[in-house]
Structure 1
Amino acid sequence: MEFCRTHFLAILSLVLLFPRTTKGWGEDGHAIICKIAQPRLNNAAAEAVQNLLPKYAENDLGRVCSWADHVKFIFPWSSALHYIDTPDNLCNYQYTRDCKDENGLKGRCVAGAINNYTNQLLSYGRDSDSQYNLTQALLFLSHFMGDIHQPLHVGFTSDRGGNTIDVHWYTRKTNLHHVWDDSIIETAEQRFYDSDMDGFIDAIKKNITKEWSDQVGDWESCDYTKTTCPNIYASESIKAACEWAYKDVSENSVLGDDYFSSRLPTVNLRLAQGGVRLAATLNRIFS
């Protein structure tokens, strides 16, 4: 799975030329999380991220936050690392039960991937001969921290996190997973921010400092023995999936204003939590 940095950067440049592919949170959702996170980095983490980002990114983590989606066709082993399948209708997550791929290989899920790439990045500055490609590790970790906060990336096994539930988003045919990856975010940007992602980011940042200010410390915290806590994030996601994503949705449901307005606050919250926690994790790693 590991390869030299030169090879990695060549692939990165090639991938960035391709059009959009299948996404988790969508391009905008992942970019929002990374753009919330980067200004929250402490000096040590900001310097490490700048050193590890490819020059093409121009020190903008958000610019390459969807890289992991684009390389699934190059690294097919990585596809299982974007999600967790949980038992239908239990609405809870257990690492030992659920973190496995379709072949039953343990640890191959988004929570396991976050632990793995966090551990790889902990070698930064401590091992001049690190066996890991730390640029790759940074991009995978940043992306997977976004994925685990998308409720339907911790969804039911039978419908593959809503991918097999066909719905209409207003008049457009799609599936429930895509609604949460893309449609809610895109509709919010169009209606409230003149299709400007930066306006959406600014609104979420204001809520972090005002509406959610008393919660941010809890979002950032982690078990004192751990650098990151993906099991907490996954448990929150399956709970949100049951309470909001799946609720009152069936095959061929038409999802319109009622669904959009009632679910947007959950999307905003999960984007905010993903950004805050990505920053907190990187701060712990590099400090």
Structure 2
Amino acid sequence: MGLHLLLLHVLLVTVVARAPAAHAWRKEGHYMVCKIAQSFLTSEASAAVTSLLPGWARGELAETCSWADDERRRYPWSGALHFADTPGDCQFFYDRDCHNTEGKKDMCVVGGINNYTAALMNSSAPSVDPTISLMFLAHFVGDVHQPLHCGNTDDYGGNTIIVYWYNTTTTNLHRVWDLDIIQKAMKDFYNDDLSIMTQVIMKNITEGWSDEEREWEACPSRTKTCADRYAMESAQLACDVAYAGVEQGSILGDDYFFSAVPVVQKRIAQGGVRLAAILNRIFGENSRPQSI
């Protein structure tokens, strides 16, 4: 085995060993999803959410949205709730795909969204902490919009696909979507300023995507979420964009970046709008959404 192939093999084994601990969007992506969501809350929902936030969040939902990743060691059972990988057919089916590695049903990101939505709708239920429910829900809505959190089971959502980012950084495909695309976009387009990137995405929601926004947030039931639809979208995008043309050892550069970055920004926008819609349904919709 040549040195290059040996190195790739060693890296692949390392990634497989830690694949279940992969994060979605990393802190930057989750922050933007929740910052957008808070701006779309009704005044009633905004007051309810603010009252549930821990003191260290200083009234900012976005400050809590990486909490579920930070606390994985404290809640080891929650690992399966961050993703919903599929057999690679570009589709998500709840009964087939929503389970953990032991086959336990409802243990996937869609199940997590549904369960924590139900918990917040009935926060008086025994042993339910509404603050923890809110933080898990906010995080998982972000997760389900990262396409490779509904990626292929056999490569752990791209975790075991070793790639070279601009021929300078050895990484894996999942991390490219979690972090590298966002970081390059921030550096190239937004002066490394997360708040500017967030504001631009918000402006796109009200201008460029204004015709689509109502469709994004629409959900026919007040008691159930439409998270299975969000997972289906991600599974399709994983096939159409994230995995497209990528093999072990691929070098990903401008062509890949410019095809992926609009998808990443739109999924962050959709995640924010939909999280707000879920929270507005939970806490009431008697007030008009706040302007952004």
With normalisation by structure 1, the TM-score equals 0.90
Instruction: Give the equivalent residue in structure 1 for 2:272.
Output: 275
1:159 to 150, 155, 159: 155
Shift of 1:72: 1.0
In the alignment, the residues of structure 2 paired with residue 202 and residue 189 of structure 1 have an alpha-carbon distance, to the nearest angstrom, of: 12
- Which secondary structure does the structure 1 equivalent of 2:151 belong to? strand
Instruction: Give the equivalent residue in structure 2 for 1:243.
Output: 240
In the alignment, the residues of structure 2 paired with residue 272 and residue 158 of structure 1 have an alpha-carbon distance, to the nearest angstrom, of: 29
Instruction: Give the equivalent residue in structure 1 for 2:76.
Output: 76
Query: Is 1:132 matched up with 2:131?
Result: no
1:123–1:130 contact (8 Å) kept in structure 2: no
Instruction: Give the equivalent residue in structure 1 for 2:8.
Output: none
In the alignment, the residues of structure 1 paired with residue 281 and residue 222 of structure 2 have an alpha-carbon distance, to the nearest angstrom, of: 11
In the alignment, the residues of structure 1 paired with residue 91 and residue 209 of structure 2 have an alpha-carbon distance, to the nearest angstrom, of: 25
CA-to-aligned-CA distance 1:12-60 (integer Å, 9 cap, x gap): xxxxxxxxx8521110000000000001100111011111000110011
Query: Is 1:263 matched up with 2:260?
Result: yes
2:118–2:223 contact (8 Å) kept in structure 1: no
**Which letter maps to 2:75?**
F
- Which secondary structure does the structure 1 equivalent of 2:251 belong to? strand
In the alignment, the residues of structure 2 paired with residue 130 and residue 102 of structure 1 have an alpha-carbon distance, to the nearest angstrom, of: 28
Unaligned runs of 5+ in 2: 1-20, 285-292
CA-to-aligned-CA distance 1:139-189 (integer Å, 9 cap, x gap): 000000000000000010100000000001111000000000000001000
Instruction: Give the equivalent residue in structure 2 for 1:17.
Output: none
Query: Is 1:43 matched up with 2:43?
Result: yes
In the alignment, the residues of structure 2 paired with residue 138 and residue 224 of structure 1 have an alpha-carbon distance, to the nearest angstrom, of: 19
In the alignment, the residues of structure 2 paired with residue 107 and residue 227 of structure 1 have an alpha-carbon distance, to the nearest angstrom, of: 14
Instruction: Give the equivalent residue in structure 2 for 1:97.
Output: 96
In the alignment, the residues of structure 1 paired with residue 50 and residue 223 of structure 2 have an alpha-carbon distance, to the nearest angstrom, of: 24
In the alignment, the residues of structure 2 paired with residue 130 and residue 36 of structure 1 have an alpha-carbon distance, to the nearest angstrom, of: 31
In the alignment, the residues of structure 2 paired with residue 161 and residue 39 of structure 1 have an alpha-carbon distance, to the nearest angstrom, of: 31
Instruction: Give the equivalent residue in structure 1 for 2:174.
Output: 177
Greater share of helix: 2
- Which secondary structure does the structure 1 equivalent of 2:211 belong to? coil
Count matched residues: 263
In the alignment, the residues of structure 1 paired with residue 132 and residue 170 of structure 2 have an alpha-carbon distance, to the nearest angstrom, of: 35
Higher relative contact order (CA 8 A, sep 6+): 2
2:150–2:234 contact (8 Å) kept in structure 1: yes
Shift of 1:85: 1.6
Q: How does 1:189-268 map onto structure 2 within 5 Å? A: 189-224=186-221, 226-268=223-265
Shift of 1:131: 3.1
Give the root-mean-square deviation of aligned CA atoms: 1.2
In the alignment, the residues of structure 2 paired with residue 248 and residue 41 of structure 1 have an alpha-carbon distance, to the nearest angstrom, of: 39
Instruction: Give the equivalent residue in structure 2 for 1:7.
Output: none
CA-to-aligned-CA distance 1:163-217 (integer Å, 9 cap, x gap): 0000011110000000000000010001111100011011101110111101110
In the alignment, the residues of structure 1 paired with residue 139 and residue 221 of structure 2 have an alpha-carbon distance, to the nearest angstrom, of: 24
**Which letter maps to 2:234?**
S
Instruction: Give the equivalent residue in structure 2 for 1:145.
Output: 141
Unaligned runs of 5+ in 1: 1-20
CA-to-aligned-CA distance 1:54-81 (integer Å, 9 cap, x gap): 0110011111100000111111101011
CA-to-aligned-CA distance 1:82-140 (integer Å, 9 cap, x gap): 0012012x11110000000000001000000000000000024xx3x653100000000
1:165–1:175 contact (8 Å) kept in structure 2: yes
